[in-house]
Structures are given as C-alpha cells and as structure tokens.
Amino acid sequence: MTNQMKALSKLHPREGLWMVDAPVPEVGPDDVLIKINKTGICGTDIHIWNWDDWAAATVPVPMITGHEFAGEIVELGRNVTDLEIGQRCSGEGHLIGKTSRQSRAGKFHLDPATRGIGVNEQGAFAQYLRLPAFNVVPLPDDIPDEIGAILDPLGNAVHTALSFDLIGEDVLITGAGPIGIMAAAVARHVGARHVVITDVNPDRLALAQQVTDVVAVNVAQEDLGKIVSDLGMKQGFDIGLEMSGNQQALDQMVEAMTMGGRIAMLGIPPGKSPVDWSRIVFKAITIKGVYGREIFETWYKMIAMLQNGLDVSRVITHQFPVDRYAEGFAEMKSGRSGKVVLDWT
C-alpha cells in the first residue's frame, strides 16, 4: 500500500476545500485503518466549507474534514482482536474520553471530552481513515455502502425520534432537511399515527413525501392549524421533533403541542434566541436537547430497523465521484438536494 492518499482538506481559512496528497495515517495499537469507499456530505461540512463563525472558532487549519463514511478495514492495531481485515464498516465519529463520570457510567454520548473526526481530528474525506477500534461499527452484508455512509445522520434522526415513545402518537417535525425526513421515516416505521413535517422549501417537502408516508406542510403557504383539524386531531401534537434550528419553527411547534407535549430538539438556533417560556411552562411541555447518537444503542437500533424494513434510500438524491466534490457541495448548498454521497472507489 502506498504511503500517500488523496484527501479533502481545509487548507486555508476561507471558503472551500482542497484536494491534497496526504500521508496515510499510522495506526496505534488500539486503532484500525479503514479504506474509505463512500462518504456523505453533512451540514457540518457545509459550515466548514463556508468558513462561518462557528467553523473559524472550532476547526484547526489544515484539517481533513468529513465524518460520514463507509469502507473496509485494511489494517489492525496489535491490540485489536475482535475485528478482521476486509470487514465492511462504518463508525462513530465522536471520539470520547474514558475518565469522565458519564463515560465510566457507560453514557458515552454525554462525555464532555468528546472530539469529532473531521472537526477536531483528521477526518474521513480521504482514501484512508484511522479510527479507534472502539468506534468501529461493522456493516451487515445487506446494508450497502451508500447507506453505511449516511448512518451518522440517520443516527441523529433515530436518537431524536426515539427520545420519546411514538407508538400511536401524533408527531410534528419542523425542518425537512435530510435528518428531518429520515426522522419522519423512523416515526412512521415505529408506529406513530400522524406524522406532519413542516418547512418553507418545496423541494425538500416534495422529497419528504417521496421518502415516507408523511403530511408535508409549507408553512409559508398553509395554515398548520387547519392541517391539525383536517387530520381529526383534538388537542394538538403529542411529540415534536425540532430539526430546523429556526426560532419561528420552534415557536410554532410550541403553539401546536398538546398540554404535556414533549419536544426533542436537534436543530441549533443561531446565537441567542428569545423564547416565550411562559407558553412552555403553562403547557407543561418537556424539552430535551439531543446531540449526536447514543453510543452505541442508536447504532444497534437503526441497523435493526434497516434490516426490518426501514427504507431511507431515497433521501440520497446525488452521488458523485470524489473528483467532482465541488459539484456535490454545490448541490448540498443549493437547498434542493437530499443527502449527497461522494464515491472514493
């Protein structure tokens, strides 16, 4: 194997990514080396491409970006005994510490020392990725690489959607981006009654209806209250999944919830946002913040659901060879696409 590889790197503190030749990572005793087959472009990658305030304050330069991937193991560290050369895999992109109370209690997703590949550590937009063996998630044969490459964001959707019991419940999802759409598919798969997804982007709403059985509402043109009435709902939504990061969407969700409703928030509003806490208190609403995936419970659940009929394949709207990565980023930034996958093979 050559000691050089192609990679997409944030070389300069300005807009864009650059294709570079980089050294193939050396594995430590507890690591594996993964040959990357496919990667997904994430909203985080768009922030890094754009070099917005968050990226400038968070990401060191130079940095190989990317954290959604599928590939196969080509090298094992000397202490790794439970994985095999040639094994197909994806992996958890959050690198955790082992000394915090949360980690020692097995609540790995809450570890305050978490670092992210492609953000704080060299990432997966490359021909090879070094990853701790602990973070590797083997891929069953019936899950193709392009789905393996989007398990990270699907995991966000699963973690958010399964925050509360959805069986027989009426669910409102604000934000019809890929994660919101996948959360709608999960909600339908596990037995929600009505699933309504809102946005102002007609392309994304149309995609949501292609992916799963969902009521798509353009809140710039339609009255959400009328939709609630048309569906025969008496008091409002039982569960809210906030995926948009839009304050107006959250306000609208709060108003649409039933007394005692529960909201899981994955979307991140920019900066500080005014909140009418009195409405939340008087409606006795529970709000849960969601970050990443539950390590590794979310992975087990989403793989099991994929093997049991959950189909999110249509959320992937574009695939490009990695040499055309700029086109992939342009599609993601256009707001017209679902997930965009880059092929490294």
Residues catalogued as catalytic: 44, 47
CB atoms within 10 A of CB 72: 16
Task: Please report which residue ranges of 285-339 form alpha helices under DSSP H.
Answer: 297-307, 325-334
Cβ atoms 197, 219 nearer than 8 A: no
Q: What is the C-alpha to C-alpha distance for residues 228 and 246, in angstroms, rounded to an integer?
A: 21
Q: What is the C-alpha to C-alpha distance for residues 290 and 160, in angstroms, rounded to an integer?
A: 6
Contacts with 190 (C-beta within 8 Å, 6 or more apart), sequence order: 161, 162, 166, 167, 305
Query: Amino acid letter at 96?
Result: I
Cβ atoms 250, 242 nearer than 8 A: yes
Pairing type for strands 257-265 and 115-116 reads: unpaired
Q: What is the C-alpha to C-alpha distance for residues 225 and 186, in angstroms, rounded to an integer?
A: 24
CA angle 248–199–252, rounded 5-degree value: 30
Cβ atoms 341, 38 nearer than 8 A: yes
CA angle 98–42–148, rounded 5-degree value: 75
Contacts with 57 (C-beta within 8 Å, 6 or more apart), sequence order: none
Torsional class of 15: left (φ above 0), alpha (ψ -120 to 50), beta (otherwise): beta
